[in-house]
Structure 1
Amino acid sequence: MHAVSPATEADPAALLFQFLTMAGSLIGRGPYVQVGPAQHFANIFVGLVGETSKARKGTSWSWVRQLAYDVDATVANRITPGLSSGEGLIMEVRDANVANKDAGASDKRLLVHEPELTSALAAMNRQGNTLSQMIREAWDTGDLRVLTKNTPLRATGAHISIVGHVTRDELLRTLTRTEAANGFGNRFLWPVARRSKFLADPNIIAAPPLAPLVKGLRQVATFCEGLTAVPRDAAASELWGEAYPRLSEGQPGLLGAMIARAEAQAVRLSLLYALLDQSGVVGERHLRAALAAWNYCEASAHYVFGSAWGDPVTDELLQALREAGGEGLGRTAIRDLFGRHKSKGELDRALQGLEAARRVRREDRQTGGRPAEWWISEKE
């Protein structure tokens, strides 16, 4: 990243996470970390979140794509744009089908670049669209299957990596509660990207020396050939034991849903750092680097999702209670807030969830008759 940063307005974090995604795609489905019955490979999903459309997300991707072409044209040719359907995703990594005289995909590595991630999120909301399910299976096992009426589609051992670009407002507007709750969202890392500097004429800056990076990545690819299980050494295991409780802590609301796979994400990042270091063992420094990368993604998630619950009723109610300040809102005012179109059960669930997360508190106020139920936002 130090080689490229002086010559671009792109955020170093955007360069880093897209580079890691590209490197994981290059490495392929060989090395893995065993966690119980699950195997975590080097493929990761990154949703790069720009504060605005001027965050230079596309600029950062251009450098990573160029590096991929310089390293291995074969891998670069496995970069494909767009996510629209689960069937389309499987077709890129499909198994051979002798009956249909289809030789299948000769290379099961695939790096999907989606410059408009909102398009994919919108596609998932269409009835019958299997994209969300296939993306989740691609992250979990790499074994994908859709039972179509005429020609069943199947892919086994697929090594799919994803880079998507989106603005914060677009993401919050299009990510549904279902996609957050079903685990689609937490299979992605969500680093925030900002414009790092202003370069009115980047052409006057000498082109960064990519040759050492190209040579190093080629050596990494060679090193990883035939490599399978990658264990942690003793120091890394001790550090993991210290970090694990915090990684495993739950968070309320949409934020909690989006970072619920913190442990697994840290495992994959540590594997990537070890392999880029051409090490067959995850060492302490690899894990520390992975935890630092995860901490950035977690902080980004707090910024992007921290004030949202992923439920329109809860989000609107919490915002209204915050605006009401210490005075709070009574039950009648809360019903009126929604035009009396929400049932008591819906409002109860929203209030009880906020109360359990200590975002609001209930008071019973004397009115001369039966005490009135009142709700006040807690200071955060």
Structure 2
Amino acid sequence: MTDLTAADAVTDAAAYAEAAAFLLGADWLTDSERTVRTVAVRAELRATGSYRHTPEELAHGAKAAWRNHARCVGRLHWKALRVVDRRHVTSAEEVFDACVGHLRAASADGRLQPVITVFPQRAPDGSAIRIWNPQLIRYAGYRDADGSVTGDPLHVELTDMAGSLGWQGRGGRFDVLPLIVQMPGEEPRWFELPSDAVLEVPLAHPEFDWFAELDLRWHAVPAISDMRMEIGGIDYPACPFSGWYVGYEIGARNLADTDRYDLLPLVAAHMAIDTSYDSTLWKDRALVELNRAVLHSFQQAGVHLVDHHTVTRQFVTHEDRERRKGYPVSADKHWIVPPLSASTTPVFHRAYETIEARPNFFRQPAAWR
């Protein structure tokens, strides 16, 4: 490495170490093939400052990233992840088209499939494609004159940003935001998602007829689009991935949190529960019925999601399988334990350690910041 400065040598060594550690897990290669591939990766790193994964490496890495992600309770199904390689795209239109294709494939007429669509990796100069939306499907939040919000308060800032780019929403509670794509060196552009790519479920209750009159709904596919995936030292800042919802993500968080749709007071009022004292447990009773409505509605619509008791049992199955293989199980208990009936689920009673394993998914700052 006589042509490198000392700092370059350190960077080269660190990048090579990440790549070599990842390639050790390439169990589809023979020992001799792995040696040849490792030498080729090092040469590519020296020549360009980066290297490109083979399709097999990308698929293995994406599945391993899901397997290692400490905040996901649904990792039992990590091997079933469908990896869509879109590393060849060069325009915002192509990114948008691929995202629409992702949503259509993941929806599967309600038989949801785990899918990740991977766009080009971060360039050696740090430039990268970014999808501004935290999920491919999100609802707008409009600021009202009295300081309240119509729609989802979580996405007021993104709604404002979309408006500054020329998008005009209808002002409703469940307006689907446009997809905002920014290519390296270009201004962001917005694209309206076609209706056939946005599978939504209207919400009703198995016993309360009045619930349907609340005119609530939620989208079926949770497609995370603002995280970066790291595989063998390579960053993929645009890689939307999706599985299916756990019921409480909708019923106990999106629709119930006080800084989101804050529906518990409304549901309690329709149930004629005394809300003047916390000791009436009105929040608990309204929360359970809101979650019953979500589970019932998705089931009636033939759209897959899972309840918190089932998914936590599945996680314990996953955990036990991994431990038998000698594979470390990382879990962030704040995310693994459900916000509903926590102590009735098996994960509440287990201890977990959060390990920052790689490959993995990581948070990144909002693109507009």
User: Same fold, TM exceeding 0.5?
Assistant: no
TM-score range relative to shorter protein: under 0.3
TM-score normalised over the length of structure 2: 0.25
Which structure dedicates a bigger proportion of its chain to helix? 1
